[in-house]
Structure 1
Amino acid sequence: MGSIWEIDFYSRPILDDNQKKVWEVLVCESPLDVRAKTDSLFRYAKYCPSTQVNSGWLRTALQEAIAEAGEAPIKIRFFRRQMNNMITKACEDLSIPAQSSRRTLMLNQWLKQRVEEVYPHEPGYQGGTNPSVRLESPLPQRLPDALEGKKWVFVSLEAADLMDMPEWEIGFGEAFPLELARVSPQTRIPGILIFSPRALPIAGWMSGLDLAYLRFDTSVGTRLLLETGVTESWILANIKSPQTLAEAKGFEEAKQQANGVHFIGVQSDPQAESFAGFWLLQEVNLP
């Protein structure tokens, strides 16, 4: 399997000699292994003059990144919806699939580091925020009837237990290095397990959604939502019983204590020793 890249192409809090915002492309390799060392992963950064912001410039920058990396990625993820057309066009010209996604954990951390440690030292730096354009999100959707689990439960594992993920039998799934989330081996990581005789089709469907994170929502009743892509949201469960409500609140509290880290697993039944699907997730604030 080849690598997946995360990219951002956007203006930075830096002005050029003409008092125009300087743009920048950031490219980094997605860490897909829970044991991966993030400092060994590929990175590429290049500033872009405001007069050259277009898909052609971005395509050329991506070609340079591919040359440096030695191979093209199998997919590119990006989180800024307002850059969808430009990024998608540049990637299409290179025959690389592009996907809008909130699963850009490595990129988010790198961008935060550059905001704090790199941009302030550049000529023309302008302090303050450089917010992304906020776009409305659609309402959560119901899961297709055929994909609803027969049963689901809240569970938790120690972070150290998740380091064994590479040895588990998993049909569909994805992870990231726990060092990226800065959690200790003793931290309790909350999650949910979904049980269904149709575990493999459910896991396959979920795999195609680009899972972002789970969250407990009280804006309309009480429910557990599965966030996917950049804006999509699915109602995983409506919570009604007092016991399940207490467990859901405990899940959300434990998730916050674990820096947003949690997981979702899909199995055929509680006695199964393999997973049709298992995803390590983290809820983070995007720029």
Structure 2
Amino acid sequence: MGNIWEMDFYSRPILDANQKKIWEVLVCESPADISTKTDSLFRYAQYCPNTQVNSGWLRTALQEAITKAGETPIKIRFFRRQMNNMITKACQDLGIPAQPSRRTLVLNQWLEQRIEQVYPQEPGYQAGTNPSVRLEKPLPQRLPDALEGQQWIFVSLPAADLLEMPEWEISFGEAFPLELAQISPETRIPGILIFSSRALPLAAWMSGLELAFMRFDTSEGARLLLETGVTESWIVANIKNPQTLAEAKGFEEAKQKANGVHFIGVQSDPKAQSFTGFWLLQEVNLL
């Protein structure tokens, strides 16, 4: 299996000599698992003149990134929906699938670092002129009947225990290095275990989505929602039991204390010794 890349192509808070915003493409490698060292991940950055913002320029930049990396990614994730057509076209011309996704954790942290440390040092920097992303509020959908879990529970693990993930038997899943979240090994990481006699198709279906994060929502009753892609949302459960409601609130509170980190596990039953699916997730604000 090859590497997955994360990409952003957008204007930056920097003006050129004609008082036009300079654009920039950022490309970085997604971590393969929890043991990945972030400083070893491939990164590529290049500014783009305002007059050359098009899929052709982006395609050329991506080809240069591929040449420097020495490999072609199996897919590229991006979170700016307003750039969907241009990014998709450039990626298609190179034969690479482009995937709208909120699972761009390395890219988001890199962008944050550049906003704070790099752009202010550039000639023409204009503080506060680059709007942040405004995503549409998704309308939650029901999970397909055949994929609903028969049972689920809230659980938690110390962050240190998750470091053993590479040794676990997992059929489908994805993780990221906890150094990205800047949490201590003692931090309790909340999670949800879903049990189903159809665990394999459920985990396979979930692996085909761009899993973003799980959240407890009270806007229309009490619901547990799975956020995927850039704007998709799925209703995992409607919560009415007072005890479960308290546990759901506790899950959300623990997630905030863990800097948004949490996990989803899929098993055939509570006695299973392996995971059909296991995903380490983090809810972050996109820049």
- The TM tier, using the shorter chain, reads over 0.9
Structure 1 segments of 4+ aligned residues over 3 angstroms from their partners: none
**Per-residue displacement from partner, 1:114-134 (whole Å, max 9, x unpaired)?**
000000000000011511453
Q: What displacement does 1:138 show? A: 3.3
Q: RMSD between aligned alpha carbons? A: 0.8
**Per-residue displacement from partner, 1:11-62 (whole Å, max 9, x unpaired)?**
0000000000000000000012101110011000000000000000000000
Which residue number corresponds to residue 45 of structure 1? 45
Which residue number corresponds to residue 123 of structure 1? 123
1-structure distance, mates of 2:33, 2:264: 16
Q: What displacement does 1:80 show? A: 0.2
2-structure distance, mates of 1:195, 1:152: 6
Which residue number corresponds to residue 272 of structure 1? 272
1-structure distance, mates of 2:195, 2:233: 21
Q: 1:138 to 1:256 in 2, by over 3 A?
A: closer
- Please list every run of 5 or more consecutive structure 1 residues that lacks an aligned counterpart in the other structure: none
Which residue number corresponds to residue 151 of structure 2? 151
Which residue number corresponds to residue 186 of structure 1? 186
Which residue number corresponds to residue 16 of structure 1? 16
| Residue identity matched to 1:32 | A
Q: What displacement does 1:76 show? A: 0.2
2-structure distance, mates of 1:220, 1:138: 13
Which residue number corresponds to residue 139 of structure 2? 139
C-alpha contact (below 8 Å) 1:9/1:25 kept by paired residues = yes
2-structure distance, mates of 1:140, 1:236: 10
2-structure distance, mates of 1:225, 1:32: 25
Q: 1:70 to 1:120 in 2, by over 3 A?
A: same
C-alpha contact (below 8 Å) 1:80/1:132 kept by paired residues = no
- Please list every run of 5 or more consecutive structure 2 residues that lacks an aligned counterpart in the other structure: none
**Per-residue displacement from partner, 1:100-126 (whole Å, max 9, x unpaired)?**
000000000000000000000000000
1:174 and 2:166 equivalent? no
Secondary structure of the residue that 1:24 maps to in structure 2?
A: strand
| Residue identity matched to 1:257 | K
2-structure distance, mates of 1:138, 1:117: 33
C-alpha contact (below 8 Å) 1:82/1:133 kept by paired residues = no
Which residue number corresponds to residue 71 of structure 1? 71
1-structure distance, mates of 2:92, 2:132: 24
| Residue identity matched to 1:130 | N
C-alpha contact (below 8 Å) 1:159/1:185 kept by paired residues = yes
1-structure distance, mates of 2:138, 2:162: 33
Which residue number corresponds to residue 27 of structure 1? 27
- State which drifts further: 137-146 or 92-101: 137-146
Q: What displacement does 1:136 show? A: 2.7
1:258 and 2:249 equivalent? no
C-alpha contact (below 8 Å) 2:133/2:286 kept by paired residues = no
2-structure distance, mates of 1:286, 1:108: 6
Identical residues among aligned pairs (%): 83
1-structure distance, mates of 2:19, 2:79: 27
Q: 1:137 to 1:36 in 2, by over 3 A?
A: same
Which residue number corresponds to residue 104 of structure 1? 104
1-structure distance, mates of 2:133, 2:241: 39
Q: What displacement does 1:209 show? A: 1.1
Secondary structure of the residue that 1:35 maps to in structure 2?
A: coil
| Residue identity matched to 2:11 | S
C-alpha contact (below 8 Å) 1:223/1:235 kept by paired residues = yes
1:235 and 2:235 equivalent? yes
| Residue identity matched to 1:162 | L
**Per-residue displacement from partner, 1:181-217 (whole Å, max 9, x unpaired)?**
1111000000000001100000001111110000000
1-structure distance, mates of 2:3, 2:199: 27
| Residue identity matched to 2:189 | I
1-structure distance, mates of 2:215, 2:138: 16
